[in-house]
């Protein structure tokens, strides 16, 4: 596997810890260890990042995990597992960052669904931007929202691909929308990806799910 060189960008340990727990839930400890080993990340085997907000988990490490998943399980299988891991991680994200995301406030709870989705995306970009070097923005369109990630840990350092690969983020968004809509499944698509040569990773999110 082509190892992605370490970047100057990183994410808070707590988020990386939650992501690794999501992978462990889907792959089992043994499966995760095999992926980490293939990714050249032996330092995280049986030792997750500490539970703090120090920004020490390198973007290249996230990207290497997804790449190793695809090597082991094929592009389709690996992508599906990353989506499931993203979905599994969402609950912990909500538990750990709910107050900063504003989701535990009464005013949020009584908003209409499209308003909730909008506020959630705005707050999530601010919260994650504050504890990482990730840069993202959100635009409202007629039928939904477009999330642009300008500096993306999920595909960091990957190039020349013919398909989008930021599956973990797709999974988190899918689970997030399910939660925001009171349990409806929804389909999120990644329509552009920096690994394909696009300038941003772009995700399309419907305004309401029903």
Q: Which residues form the interface with Zn ion (CB under 5 A)? A: 152, 154-155, 166, 201
Closest CA to 18 of 48, 58, 60, 63: 48
Q: How far is the CB of 194 from Zn ion (least distance, A)?
A: 5
Helix (H) or strand (E) holding 25: helix 13-38
Q: How far is the CB of 154 from Zn ion (least distance, A)?
A: 4
- For Zn ion, the closer of residues 49 and 164 by Cβ is 164
- For Zn ion, the closer of residues 184 and 191 by Cβ is 191
Angle between helices 167-180 and 113-130 (to 10 degrees): 140
Q: How far is the CB of 192 from Zn ion (least distance, A)?
A: 9
Determine phi and psi for 192, rounding to 5 degrees.
-140, 150
- For Zn ion, the closer of residues 147 and 166 by Cβ is 166
- For Zn ion, the closer of residues 119 and 152 by Cβ is 152
Q: How far is the CB of 164 from Zn ion (least distance, A)?
A: 7
Report CA 185 to chain centroid distance, whole Å: 18
DSSP string, 95-137: HHHHHHHTTTSHHHHTS-HHHHHHHHHHHHHHHHHHTBS-EEE
- For Zn ion, the closer of residues 93 and 209 by Cβ is 93
Closest CA to 153 of 10, 3, 26, 4: 10
Q: How far is the CB of 32 from Zn ion (least distance, A)?
A: 21
Distance separating alpha carbons of residues 111 and 174, to the nearest angstrom: 19
């Amino acid at each position: 596997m082509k190892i992605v060189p370490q970047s100057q960008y990183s994410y808070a340990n707590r988020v990386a810890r939650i992501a690794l727990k999501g992978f462990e839930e889907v792959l089992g400890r043994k499966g995760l260890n095999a992926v980490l080993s293939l990714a050249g990340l032996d330092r995280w085997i049986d030792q997750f990042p500490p539970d703090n907000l120090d920004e020490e988990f390198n973007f290249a490490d996230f990207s290497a995990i997804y790449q190793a998943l695809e090597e082991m399980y094929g592009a389709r299988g690996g992508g599906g597992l990353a989506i499931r891991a993203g979905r599994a991680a969402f609950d912990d994200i909500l538990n750990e960052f709910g107050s900063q995301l504003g989701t535990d406030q009464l005013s949020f709870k009584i908003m209409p669904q499209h308003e909730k989705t909008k506020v959630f995306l705005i707050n999530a970009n601010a919260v994650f931007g504050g504890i990482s070097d990730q840069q993202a923005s959100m635009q409202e369109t007629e039928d939904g929202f477009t999330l642009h990630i300008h500096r993306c840990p999920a595909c960091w350092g990957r190039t020349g691909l013919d398909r989008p690969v930021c599956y973990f983020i797709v999974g988190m968004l899918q689970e997030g929308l399910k939660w925001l809509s009171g349990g409806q499944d929804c389909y999120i698509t990644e329509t552009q990806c920096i690994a394909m040569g696009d300038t941003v990773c772009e995700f399309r999110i419907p305004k309401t799910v029903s």
